Chain A
């Protein structure tokens, strides 16, 4: 076990350094110069040179990387080149918007997709089953920003039930207002995601429907629905969970669009703006923190697996 831990930690360290280097280099491939953004169109070449020297962007890349990585090792993920805000502070402020948004959307998507997918599978030969599938297809085809705009037009403009955009100025200090402002974004994101998920649930369920154990369960007198609930779902679950995992990762991408559409001050909107401003230090710090979180989580899951599953332990 100690050996495994050591190996796993080494792997984690390698992955994190690789990620940091990759993020750093990819951002340097982007054309554009943060000094020009800061100095603007009136700045003289001498002023831009002064700015680059202050920001350190005139140094060779290895030196820039070394000083950034050194800071990260010391726990300093860097500061915005434009306004000096700390990457960790700012990410914390954005996650309180993005995490509730994506988590709630994922839960809602599962709650929608699983029953509907099962239903579509069970009734796949009838019209209503086909209708559910068709609506699901439509959901995949509709761009989420359009859906968001339409939902806002209905629930905010026509019915005046919910805000059309924005987040309370005081954030979660106004819990009711904050929650209300997330309803439409969550619904939009969840609808878009559940449409994808629904297809997987349906096809996974269809596959199980014809499995031997289902026939056996039916032979023992269970109805199709109860056999599906009792035996089918848990067998259909693994592929759906894999897809859900990938989907949750892609939620961050979806959040960029939704946060933009609903003007939510979240991680996605921030990253988009920072890349546009070539605030490279802030972008690389943010991306490293986010991907580091995923990598650490993966490692932790591995370790926990080993602890709970003796077969895996023996295999080492």
Chain B
């Protein structure tokens, strides 16, 4: 899951390093602080990103790179996600939900598309029906699995019927499946008619994407800068040069070397937020059926040592299961399968295993793993491949022993209930609890069940979790209001300001 994929997984490699999250549009809930000396509404802001989208069509092409810039900025849904992960009103207010949890009724705000036409219930109905259609190729179709039908009532009321309760439905609405397109919109590959605070100005493939402020934005708060240029600079050294040469104002995807280079420079401020980017050392449970082997594979790796080599606490944190610190069901599970070289060696000595890893991650991670496994008596062959190959061989076909990718999407924990998912983990309890969590009657009930899931997958050593990335952003002094959290997944720039002068 890295790169060009999107959604749940990851693609993110790059992302892994990048990251923060989006916040809301109408009323930015981010860390935006007004600049003291007045702001410059005519400013152009240059933002360094890593992974360029392959298309701008959210309905057709997967990729975290699309969500990252298009959601919140260009396109909006009925509800949105704040920087701290809460669901908030968007094109509509928060819905009225029927007692059985199967009917959601939304009332639209008076919003307009970029061409000036009003957003109507018919547009919502059309957008959602396309997602759930039988021949839908929407990459986020699965997130609308519980949607039975969508009805427009008049111009401003939308009723969604679910086939079963779904505690993830509102969350899904904040993602790409929930985006409202104008009925009959075409040419989305490289143009847009969204509703967000920015409009697409230009896409110079291979280099930059430029957004300009939509002055007729329907929401109360217009964007605070005139233009944003996303500069896609995959090379880390080139990116650091660009930052220091003054060509970049906001820098995501910061690595340890870059941080060290600018840390003492008063021209920059560093913010650190949370992310959902978790580096997963995937086990093929079909090949590694023996749980004691999987436990030993976890115990053989000193994660503290690994994270220290990657830049330490400023960039990464430990996690003992597939949970982010912001998940309501998070608890510290790092004591399960603690580092124990000797215990691991007793089980693993003499084995040969192959690790398949996409070439977008720093080689230092797989080098470190190979060294750790060598100490535990394992001959680890590292097979570095293109992301496309990983997707085909590991993700689709399950032909691997160990795999390393960064999963960026929240709620990836639900995947552990799918025995067909590439880990091939088949845990009956996990499947039952996950099913119950999705159809739970309250958030508290759901969170309790997911807490059990998180603990169980760790106790079963379904996979191993090497660490969770922090979302570290470097901004030139004078640029504030940038989202802090999970910027690899979405980057809401509606609150971004540039100081005057």
Q: Which A residues form the contact surface with B (CB < 8 A)?
A: 30-33, 36-44, 47, 50-51, 54, 82-85, 90, 93-94, 145, 148-149, 152-153, 156-157, 160, 163-167, 169-171, 259-266, 269-270, 273, 276-279
Contact = CB atoms under 8 A, between A and B. Distances in A.
Contact of B10 (A41, A50, A166, A167): A41
Interface stretch (B23-31, B88-96, B236-244): B236-244
Given A37-B388, A39-B139, A164-B238, A169 B1 contact: no
Interface in B215-273: 229, 231-235, 237-239, 241-242, 244-247
A90 B396 contact: no
A273 B52 contact: yes
A164 B391 contact: no
Contact of B206 (A41, A43, A145, A273): A273
B212 to A, nearest CB: 11
Contacts of B208: 166, 169
B245 A152 contact: yes
Interface in B347-383: none
Given A30-B388, A33-B391, A164-B242, 11 more contacts: A33-B392, A39-B62, A39-B139, A40-B61, A40-B62, A41-B5, A41-B391, A42-B9, A85-B205, A149-B235, A152-B245
Most buried by A among B8, B9, B392, B395: B392
B392 to A, nearest CB: 5
Given A83-B54, A169-B210, A40 B4 contact: yes
Nearest to A263: B233
Nearest to A38: B61
Nearest to B190: A83
Contacts of B238: 148-149, 152, 164-165, 261-263
Given A40-B5, A83-B57, A165-B242, A149 B388 contact: no
Nearest to A94: B206
Nearest to B139: A40
Interface residues of B, number: 59
A66 to B, nearest CB: 25
A261 B208 CA distance: 15
B473 interface: no
Q: Which 5 A-B pairs have the closest CB atoms?
A: A40-B62, A32-B388, A265-B206, A83-B55, A40-B5
A44 B10 CA distance: 16
Interface string B399-417: 0000000000000000000
Contacts of B206: 94, 259, 263-266, 269-270, 273
A282 B392 CA distance: 20
A82 B140 CA distance: 16
B142 interface: yes
Nearest to A148: B238
Nearest to B405: A41
Contacts of A166: 207-208, 231, 233, 242, 247
B257 to A, nearest CB: 12
Interface of B: 1, 4-11, 52, 54-57, 60-63, 135-137, 139-143, 189-190, 202, 204-208, 210, 229, 231-235, 237-239, 241-242, 244-247, 386-389, 391-393, 395-396
A42 B241 contact: no
Given A83-B54, A260-B234, A265-B204, A41 B1 contact: yes
Nearest to B237: A149
A228 to B, nearest CB: 42
B205 A265 contact: yes
A282 to B, nearest CB: 11
| SS class, residues of chain B in contact with chain A | loop
22 contacts: A30-B388, A31-B393, A33-B396, A36-B391, A36-B392, A36-B396, A38-B61, A39-B62, A40-B8, A41-B391, A43-B139, A47-B136, A50-B137, A84-B55, A157-B244, A164-B242, A166-B207, A263-B207, A263-B231, A265-B206, A273-B54, A277-B4
B386 A32 contact: yes
A39 B59 CA distance: 10
B235 to A, nearest CB: 6
A270 B10 contact: no
Most buried by A among B140, B206, B247, B393: B206
Most buried by B among A37, A47, A145: A37
A148 B7 CA distance: 35
Given A38-B60, A152-B238, A32 B389 contact: yes
B386 A84 contact: no
A47 B137 contact: yes
Most buried by B among A33, A40, A41, A85: A41
Given A33-B392, A265-B206, A83 B61 contact: yes
Contacts of B395: 36, 41
Nearest to B239: A165
Contacts of A38: 60-62, 137, 139
Nearest to B206: A265
A251 to B, nearest CB: 18
Most buried by A among B7, B9, B137, B395: B137
A85 B137 contact: no
Given A32-B386, A157-B241, A42 B6 contact: yes
A165 B241 contact: yes
Nearest to B60: A38
Given A32-B388, A36-B391, A169 B229 contact: yes
Nearest to B422: A41
Most buried by B among A43, A90, A160, A269: A43
A82 B54 CA distance: 7
Contact of A37 (B4, B190, B235, B242): B4
Nearest to B61: A38
A41 B1 CA distance: 6
Given A37-B391, A85-B189, A152-B241, A169 B55 contact: no
B202 A169 contact: yes
A41 B6 CA distance: 6
B45 to A, nearest CB: 13
A223 B331 CA distance: 86
B350 to A, nearest CB: 30
Nearest to B234: A260
Contacts of A47: 136-137, 141
B245 A160 contact: yes
Most buried by A among B62, B238, B239, B244: B238
B7 A41 contact: yes
B70 to A, nearest CB: 13
